[in-house]
Structure 1
Amino acid sequence: MSYVFNLLFLSLIFLSQSSSAVQDKDYLPADTTYLPAVTTPTQALGSEVGEWHVRHDQLVSYMRTLAAQSERVSLVDIGRTHENRPLVLLAFTSAANQQNLANLQAEHIASLNGKSVSNSPLIIWMGYSVHGNESSGSNAALLIAYYLAAGQNEQIEQLLKDNIVLLDPSLNPDGLSRFAQWANMHKSRHLVTDPQNREHQEAWPSSRTNHYWFDLNRDWLLQVHPESKARVAQFHQWRPHVLTDFHEMGSDSTFFFQPGIPSRKNPWTPQENVELTDALGQFHARALDKNKQLYFTQESYDDFYYGKGSTYPDALGSIGILFEQASSRGHLRDTANGVLSFADTIQNQVTTSISTFAGALANKDGLLAYQQAFDNNTLKLSKKDALTGYVVQEARDYTRMQDFLTVLQAHHIDYRPLKRDIEVDDVPFKAVSSVFIPVQQAQYRLIKSLFSTRKSFDDNTFYDVSNWNLALAFNLQYAPVESKVDFDTNRNFTGKTFQSELLDKAYAYAFSWDDSSAATLLSRLLKAKVKVQVAGSPFVAQTSQGAVNFTAGSVVIPSAFAQPENLIGLLQDMSQDLPITLWSIDSGLTKQGIDLGSRQMHNLSLPKVLLVGGKETSQYEAGEVWHHFDQQLELPLTIVDLDRLASLDLTNYSHIIWVNGTYKNVSETNVKSLSSWLKDGGVLIGQKNAVAWFADKGWLKARTKTASDIALAFDSKGLQYSDLESFSAKQRIAGAVFTTNLDVSHPLAFGFEREALPMFKNSNQILLRPDAPFITVAKYTDKPLTAGYAAPELQDLVANSAAIVAHQVGKGRVIAFNDNMNFRGTWQGTSRLFTNAIFMASFINVPG
C-alpha cells in the first residue's frame, strides 16, 4: 500500500514564452532512477518531450527502441492505418513474465470462463489520443513507456512483477501525424499565446479525425476502420481489467476524469462498474491535488454509447476510464485559467497514467473478482430474459448480410444458421438466408444494446447517439424471439451460392442490382471502358441457365456495343471477389417486361462526381461520402473546397454533392453557375441543411420548417433555470432511428424490396412534403420513432414529413436527402439510396 499512498508527483512546471523545456524525468515521480542503457525520449527525439509535437514515426521508432533495449518490453504490430502507418501494442511486465507472456494471457482468458487461476495478473490497457489533435496523450505515452521500461523503484517493481501493462501509444496515427505537422510548422521561436494564431486554429479537415475524416472514438462498436478492427481484436485477446482513454477538451476547461454523470450510464452496465471507476478516481484526485491542479468529475460526459473507447469495455467486464485534459492546441496558449503550455497538458496525462497504476493495484482484488464473475453474472442475467434471441435475415443482398455478420464476429457474438424455416409474428424467415443470435451467451449485454429499440431513459440528455441498433442500420429484417429456435451448431452461415456462366458469343451479359456489391462491379466495368446499360424496369430474360428475373436497376452488357477485347476475361476478373452472379443472355427479346433494346435501357458512362468540402462544410459527412465512394463503390471522387468552387468549370462534372454545411455566403455568381449547370443536365445532391439551401435557391420544390417554427412546439412555462439543460436537450435529436415509407418503384429505390426503411436522424430539420405528386421518394410514417430518444414534440413534427425529395430541373435532377445517408460508414440501408443517386438519376423524369 506504500505505492498507493506515498507516490511522489512533481508539481507542474509553468512554461513561459522564454522558459526552457521541461526535462523528461521532471514529468515523472522524483523517487525513480533509470537504467542508463535504455534510451531516454530526449535522446531519441533530439529535444525534450513537449518542446515539439511528436510525429507518429518518431513515436513508433522510440517504442521499437525500448522493446529492443529493455527486457521488460515486448511489442507487436497489430495492423496498419489507411495511410499505411503501423499500429503497435506494447506489453510491459517483468522479464520473467515476458518469457511466459503467452501462457499468462491464455490463463487470464481461461479465468473468465470460470477456471481458477492462482496469482492472476492485472491487465491494464493504456490508450492515448484517439483524436489526433488531442496529442498530449501520445506525447505522454513516450514518458510512460520510458518509466515502465527503465524506471527503478519499489512501485514499478510491484506493478510489473505480477501484472501486465498494455500500452497503445497512438490510437489514431494518421490524425496524430497530421496534427504534429500542423502544430510544428506553425511554431514560432518566440511562442505566440494568442488563441487566434494560426498555430491554434487548424485548417479543414481537423486532425481529430483519421484518414477519411471519421471520429475513431465512435468506431469501436461499428468496426468500419482498420484501426478499430485491430484494436478490438486485441481487446478480446487480452480482456483487460482496466482500459484508459486519454483525450483533450476545450482550452478553457481544466481536467476531467470519470465517473461521468451517474444517470447517463448505459443501462446494461453494472453499478459495480461505476463504483470501481469511482474508487480509481480517488487516486486521480489525490495525485492532481498534490500537483495543485484543477479538475472535475461526475458532472459531464456520459457512459451510454458502447461504441466509444471508454464505454465499449464496460459491456465486456472491463473498467473503461475517460480522461479529458484542457488543450493547448499548439505549444502555448492563453486560456480563461491563464497561460497553458503543451508541457502542462502532457504532465496531467502522465500524472493520471501513474495514478491509474496506483488505483488499479490498490483495487486489484476487486477488479479481478469483478471481471472473473462478469461473464457468469451476465449469463445468469440472460437466462432471466423472456427472449431466447433474435432472428435476422436478408435474402437478396448477401454483401449487406455478410458485413453485418462480420461486425458480430469482431465482437465475439455467436450466431448460427437456422435448421429450418420459421415464422415470427407472421413474418417468414428462411433458413437459407437467416441466422439466429441467442441471448444466452457472454456478450448478452452488448447484444441487448445492439438490438435495442428503447425510446425512453432515466436521463434523456445524450452526449452522442441514443441508439445504435445494427439490424436497423443495415436494414435487415429481424425479430425478437421468445420461443425455442432450432439452429445448426455444426455449420457456419453460408447464404446463397453464386455461380456465373459466361459464354462466348452471348447476345448480352447481365447481373442484378439486388446486392450492394453490384455497384462495385458496375464501377469497375465503367473504369475499364466496358459499355453498359441500366434497366429502368424489370424484365425476364432467357439465359443459358433458363429464364431469369431481373429487377429494375439491373446492369446489361450488350455484345452489340464495341466492347474491350477479352470481355469475358474482364467480367470474370472483376467479379471473382464479389457475390454476384453474371448471366449469359440468349436474346434481346424477353419473356416478360422490357426488351433489351427498350428506351428504358439507359446507357451509362463513368460518373464524374464532385464533392464540395472545405471550411463551412461538415468534415465528418464529407469524409463519409469520400469513404463510401472510395471503399464501397471504388469510384473516383473529386473533392474541392467551397472557396474554390468559383474557379471550376462545372461542365466537367456530372454530379455535385453538398453535405451538411453553411452555404449562406456562396456568391450569387456561383449560384448562377450552379443553376445553369443543373438545368443543362447536372445532378445536384444535397443532405441535411444543404437541402434547406437548395430550397432557398429555388432548385428544390419543397421547403423546410424554420428553427423558430420548431421552437414554438415546446412549452417552457413554469420551468426554472435548473431545467435549462434538460429543456435544451429535449429540443435536440441527438441521434435516433425513425422509420420511413419508401416508394420502392422509384429509381432511387432500385434494389430495395421493403417499403419500411429505417433512417438515422441527428438533426431537427423538418422537410415538408411537397404538394406535387411523384417527387416525394420517402416520407416518415405517422409514428416514426423506432429506437432511441426524441421528444414527443419532435416526433409529431417529423411524422409524415418528407425524408427524400427528387425531381427534374430543366434537363438536370435535384436529389434532397433530409438526413445523413452514410452515417459513420455503417448505415448501409440508406447508403444504397446514395449509390442510386449516382447511377440511377437519369430515370427521374418528373419536373418539380
Structure 2
Amino acid sequence: MLANLFNSAQNKPFSLVNTLTLAFTLSVLTFGTYAGNSAIGAPLKIAPDHGGQSVQDYLPKSVSYNPAIPTPESVLGAQIGEWHVRHDQLVSYMKLLAEKSDRVSIEETGRTHENRPLLLFTITAPKNRSNIDNWRLQHINAMESGDKVSNDAPLIFYMGYSIHGNEPSGSNAALALAYYLTAGQGDEIDALLNDNIVLFDPAFNPDGLSRFAQWANMHKGKQLVSDSRHREHDEGWPSGRTNHYWFDLNRDWLLLAHPESQARIKQYHKWRPHVLTDFHEMGTDSTYFFQPGVRSRKNPLTPDQNVTLTEVLAKYHAAAFDKQGQLYFTEEAFDDFYAGKGSTYPDLHGSIGILFEQASSRGHVQSSINGDLAFRDTIANQITTSLSTFKGALANKAAILDYQSDFVEATKAEAKDDDTVGYIVGTSHDAGRLSAFVSLLEQHHIRYEVVNKDNKVGEHTYQKGHAIYVPTHQAQYRLVKSIFSTQTSFENNTFYDVSTWNLALAFNLDFDALDKGQARDVKRTEQASLVQLALQDIAKDAYAYGFSWQHYYAPAMLQSLLEAGVQVRSSEKAFTALQVDGTNITLPAGSIVIPKGLTQPADLHQLLAQAQIQLQVPVLSFSSGLTPSGNDLGSRSMAPVKLPQIMIVGGQGTSEYEVGEMWHYFDTKVGLAASIVEQQNVSRALSDASIHYTHLIFPSGRFHFSENEISQIEQWIKAGGVVIGQKSAIRWFADNNWLDVELVSRETIDNAFDESTLTYADGRALYARKLVAGAVFEASIDTSHPLFYGYQNNTLPMFKTSNMIVKADSSPFVTPARYTQSPLMAGFSDTAMVALMADTTAVTTNKLGQGIVIGFTDNTQFRGYWYGTNKMLANAIYQSHFIQ
C-alpha cells in the first residue's frame, strides 16, 4: 500500500497539498489514531499493554459461563483492571448479581462511617437455599458440643477482600470471583456449591477503597507511567489504607472500635466458618506470600494442627503458581500472633485463617525488580489463590471438618487443665469504662457473670454490681486467655505487630486471675446486671450543680454544656459539698461545678437533665456555696473552663494513625469538633483573627517549619496557648527548647546490648530486641496533678509502641508520671530495654510564658481502645489551666 501511495504521488505534479496529504496518510498508517479514530495523530501503542482484561481471561478455561449473568465489564463499561473499581460500582454489580442469580442472597450487615453499605453474599447451589439456616444451626451446635460431623456436612468459606483500601487487588478480584461463583457452570462449580456455602465479603474497607480508587484513577493517563516516583504511586496524606478515621481495620478484629469490624465479627460468630481468607498487598519489589508463615511466630493459643492444615492448603497455592510460573514465598516474614488481625482471630476460634500478600502496583502499573507490575496481574494472582483455596479445602474436606470438632475438644481439655479458672474484673468509680469493656466481651461471645457480693482479692476490692467474673471454662477459652495475658517471654521475640493486647489493662480496670479456691469465694450470677450510677433528680431550687470528673464521659458532659453556653468551674482541689437532700458528698479534684448565680441559659435545668440521661453521668444538686470541708464553691480555686478550640497538626509527615486516633476520640467520645490543619497551613491558621485556637496538638511526625513559623508558634504559646505533643513530637519540642528533656540516644541503646558473641546472622534478631513493638509499661502517676485528675490509683498502665526514652527533671511540678522501677506489665521488651526505661519520664510539662507545653512519651489514644489513658488528653484540654 505504501508503494502504491509513493507511485501515485510520483505520477502527479509536485505540490504542497500533495506533500501534506502523503505525510498525513503516512502518519496515520505509521502511528495510528486514538480509539475510534476520534482524534488525529495519537501514537500507536508499541509498549506492552498494561490495561485491564475481560473477566473470562482471568478465570479458568475449564468452566463455562451462564450468558444470562452479566459480566463485570458489561456493567462497569470497562474491563477489570482497566480502572480501579469504586465501592459504589462494586455494590451496584453485586446487587445486580443477586437479582440475576438464584445461587445468591445478599445482606447489608452494616454501614461504614461514611454511610457506605457493608455487603455479604451467601452463595450456594439453588437446591440448598431452603436448607441454609438448618446447615448453619447444625454447624454452630457442633462447634459448641464438639460432636463429630458427617463427611457430607458443608464446608463454610468466608472470602474477604481488601481490608486495606490501598491494597485494592482483592476487591477488584472480587468482581471476577463473584461472576465465577454466580455464572460458572460445570463439575468444578458443582463440586464447590452443591454441598458447601461461600460467604463472600467483597470489600472489608469501603471508605478506604473508594479513597484510593479516586487517587489512582485521577492520576491515570492514556500512557501509563510505571515510574515509582510518579504521583500515582506516591499516595497523598491520608492514605487509602485506612478507614474514615484513618484506622488500620486489620488491627481492629479484636478491638471493634469501628462499625466495619463490629458488623464483620457479628457475621463471623453467626457462621463460624471453616476457612477465612484475608487478601492484602505488600511492597512492589516483593512477589506473593501465603501462609503458613513461620510456625514459631503463631499465637501460642493456636493449635499446631491449624498450621499443619494451612501447610496442606499452601501446596495448592504453590501448585497453581508453579503452573503459571509465578514467583512466591511462604514460611517467612509475616507472623500470626496478634489476635486482632484477620488471619489470627479466626485461628483462635477453630477456623483456618489465611493471610495472602500480593506485591502492589499501587496504581495501574509500576516498575519493580521483577519487571513492570501491572494492576491486572495483581488481580489475577488474588483470583488464583482464591480458587486454589476452594480446591485445596474441598480436597481436604474431611480433615477440615474433623479439625473443628478436635479444636472444640482440645479447648475443653486445656480449660480443664488450667489452674486459672476465671478472672475477676471491675471498678467502682467509672461505670463508663466497665460498660464498654463488657460490651466488647459480649460482641466476642465471651460469657461472664456479675459479681453480687463484695470480694477482696489480693490488693483489690471488687464491689457488688461493679465487677464481673469471666470463667475460663467456656467455648471462648482461648480468646479469654489471650485478652487477659500478662506474658512477657515468648518462643520467638520477633513481632510484626503488638506483643500484647490485655484489655483489662487497656481499660485501666482492676483484675485478678483466680484459682478454684478463690473462685469459690466469688459470688456471682448470670442474671444480674451491672449497677449503673444512679441518676439524680435535678433540683430546680439548687444553689449550684456539679458532677465528678472520675466518670469516663465527664469530658463529653462538660463539652456539651460549654457548647450550650453554660458557665462552668472546675475544682483544683477535692471538696465536700452539701446536697439539697441534706447529705454531704465528697468530690475529687477536677470535678465540675455549675453555679446558678452566674449568667446561665434559661433552660439550664433541662440541659442538665438531657445530658445526664444521654451520657449517664450523675448530676448533683448543691444547696449552698459553703462547703463542709475543702474550698467553697465561690473559691478562686474554682477556675472557669472555656470552650476549647483545638487544632491537630496533620498532613504529609505526620502519623495519619495518631491524627485519626485523636480525631476519633474527640469526635466520638467527647463530642468536640477539632480542626485538623496540615503543616503548611498552621501559620496561616494561627494568624486568622476569626478563630482563636486554645490548644495545638502535634502527633508523631517529621515537622518542617521555618524559623519564622516556629517563632510564631512560640509566641502563641507564650501568649497563653497550650501545645501538646506525643512520641516523636517531644523531640521536636526539645529541639525548640520548649521542653527541657533529654532523649536517650541510639548509641546508648546500642551500648546496652552485648554484641561480642553474635554473628552477622544474628543481626535481625538483635534489631528486634531493641524495638518496643507494643507492650504495656506501668507508670507511677501523681493524681494531684491536673493531667491526672479523675484517676484513683497511683499507677497507670501505658502502652508503648516505640523505644523512645525521655529523661526530664524529676520534680513533681515538671514530671507528673514516670515509669516504675520494674515497668514491664505485659508483652515483650528485652531486659536491656526495660532497664533503660525504668524510672524515666512518661509525661512532662513546662511553663512557657503564659502558656503550657505538654509532652506524652507514648500514645494516649492507641487504636481507639486504650480507654485507660484517654483522660490524659482530655485533662490536657479541660484542666490545663491549673498547670503551674
Please, what TM-score do these two structures have when normalized by structure 2?
A: 0.93
**Are 1:434 and 2:471 counterparts?**
no
CA distance in 2, matches of 1:208, 1:799: 36
In angstroms, what is the RMSD of aligned CA positions?
1.4
Post-superposition CA distance 1:304-362 (Å, at most 9, x none): 00100011000000000000000000001111100010000000000000000001101
CA distance in 2, matches of 1:337, 1:825: 39
CA distance in 2, matches of 1:303, 1:20: 35
Post-superposition CA distance 1:272-297 (Å, at most 9, x none): 00000000000000001111100000
Alignment of 1:14-413 (within 5 A): 17-18=48-49, 21-114=52-145, 115=147, 117-118=149-150, 119-413=152-446
Structure 1 residues 369 and 843 mapped into 2: Cα distance closer, same or farther (>3 Å)? same
Q: CA contact under 8 A between 2:84 and 2:172: conserved in structure 1?
A: yes
Q: Which residue of 1 aligns with 2:660?
A: 623
**Are 1:520 and 2:556 counterparts?**
yes
Q: Which residue of 2 aligns with 1:596?
A: 633
Structure 1 residues 330 and 19 mapped into 2: Cα distance closer, same or farther (>3 Å)? closer
Q: CA contact under 8 A between 1:124 and 1:241: conserved in structure 2?
A: yes
Alignment of 1:370-519 (within 5 A): 370-482=403-515, 483=517, 484-485=519-520, 486-519=522-555
Structure 1 residues 490 and 220 mapped into 2: Cα distance closer, same or farther (>3 Å)? closer
Q: 1:728 aligns with which of 732, 744, 767?
A: 767
1:490: how far off? 4.2
1:436: how far off? 0.5
**Are 1:583 and 2:616 counterparts?**
no
Q: Which amino acid aligns with 1:757?
A: L
1:101: how far off? 1.5
CA distance in 1, matches of 2:410, 2:751: 48
Q: Which amino acid aligns with 2:530?
A: T
Post-superposition CA distance 1:186-205 (Å, at most 9, x none): 10111111111111111011
Structure 1 residues 15 and 541 mapped into 2: Cα distance closer, same or farther (>3 Å)? farther
Post-superposition CA distance 1:409-461 (Å, at most 9, x none): 11111111123222222432222211111110111111111111111111101
Report SS of the residue matched to 2:558. helix
Q: Which residue of 2 aligns with 1:548?
A: 585
Report SS of the residue matched to 1:100. helix
1:617: how far off? 0.6
Q: CA contact under 8 A between 2:257 and 2:864: conserved in structure 1?
A: yes
Structure 1 residues 116 and 285 mapped into 2: Cα distance closer, same or farther (>3 Å)? closer
Q: CA contact under 8 A between 2:467 and 2:530: conserved in structure 1?
A: no
Q: CA contact under 8 A between 1:107 and 1:117: conserved in structure 2?
A: no
**Are 1:806 and 2:842 counterparts?**
no
1:113: how far off? 2.3
Q: Which residue of 2 aligns with 1:611?
A: 648
Q: CA contact under 8 A between 2:160 and 2:200: conserved in structure 1?
A: yes
CA distance in 2, matches of 1:98, 1:377: 33
Post-superposition CA distance 1:94-122 (Å, at most 9, x none): 10112222222111111112356543210
Identity %: 50
CA distance in 2, matches of 1:682, 1:64: 53
Q: CA contact under 8 A between 2:744 and 2:804: conserved in structure 1?
A: yes
1:487: how far off? 4.0
Structure 2 unaligned blocks of 5 or more: 1-44
Aligned residues: 831
1:494: how far off? 1.7
Q: Which amino acid aligns with 2:436?
A: D
Structure 1 residues 478 and 300 mapped into 2: Cα distance closer, same or farther (>3 Å)? same
Structure 1 residues 426 and 192 mapped into 2: Cα distance closer, same or farther (>3 Å)? closer
**Are 1:529 and 2:568 counterparts?**
no
1:747: how far off? 0.7
1:373: how far off? 2.6
1:799: how far off? 0.1
Q: Which residue of 2 aligns with 1:752?
A: 791
Q: Which amino acid aligns with 2:125?
A: S
Q: Which amino acid aligns with 1:425?
A: G
Q: Which amino acid aligns with 1:547?
A: N
Q: CA contact under 8 A between 1:688 and 1:818: conserved in structure 2?
A: yes
CA distance in 2, matches of 1:715, 1:15: 58
Q: Which amino acid aligns with 2:466?
A: S
CA distance in 1, matches of 2:114, 2:541: 44
Q: CA contact under 8 A between 2:50 and 2:376: conserved in structure 1?
A: no
**Are 1:658 and 2:698 counterparts?**
yes
Report SS of the residue matched to 1:621. helix
CA distance in 1, matches of 2:250, 2:523: 35
Please, what TM-score do these two structures have when normalized by structure 1?
A: 0.97
CA distance in 2, matches of 1:667, 1:463: 36
Q: Which amino acid aligns with 1:488?
A: R
Q: Which amino acid aligns with 2:873?
A: F
Report SS of the residue matched to 1:404. helix
Q: Which residue of 2 aligns with 1:3?
A: none
Range moving further from structure 2, 411-420 or 212-221: 411-420
Q: Which amino acid aligns with 2:697?
A: I
Q: 1:689 aligns with which of 728, 731, 734?
A: 728
Q: Which residue of 2 aligns with 1:571?
A: 608
Q: Which amino acid aligns with 1:344?
A: D
Post-superposition CA distance 1:205-257 (Å, at most 9, x none): 11000000000000000110000000001000000000000000000000000
Structure 1 residues 773 and 105 mapped into 2: Cα distance closer, same or farther (>3 Å)? closer
CA distance in 2, matches of 1:668, 1:389: 58
1:171: how far off? 0.3
Structure 1 unaligned blocks of 5 or more: 1-13
CA distance in 2, matches of 1:204, 1:19: 27
Q: 1:769 aligns with which of 808, 818, 824?
A: 808
Structure 1 residues 85 and 15 mapped into 2: Cα distance closer, same or farther (>3 Å)? farther
Q: CA contact under 8 A between 2:648 and 2:697: conserved in structure 1?
A: yes
CA distance in 2, matches of 1:773, 1:316: 47
CA distance in 1, matches of 2:50, 2:705: 46
CA distance in 2, matches of 1:185, 1:692: 37
Q: Which residue of 2 aligns with 1:640?
A: 677
Q: Which residue of 1 aligns with 2:27?
A: none
Post-superposition CA distance 1:116-168 (Å, at most 9, x none): 65432100110100000000000000111100001002011111011000111
1:773: how far off? 4.4
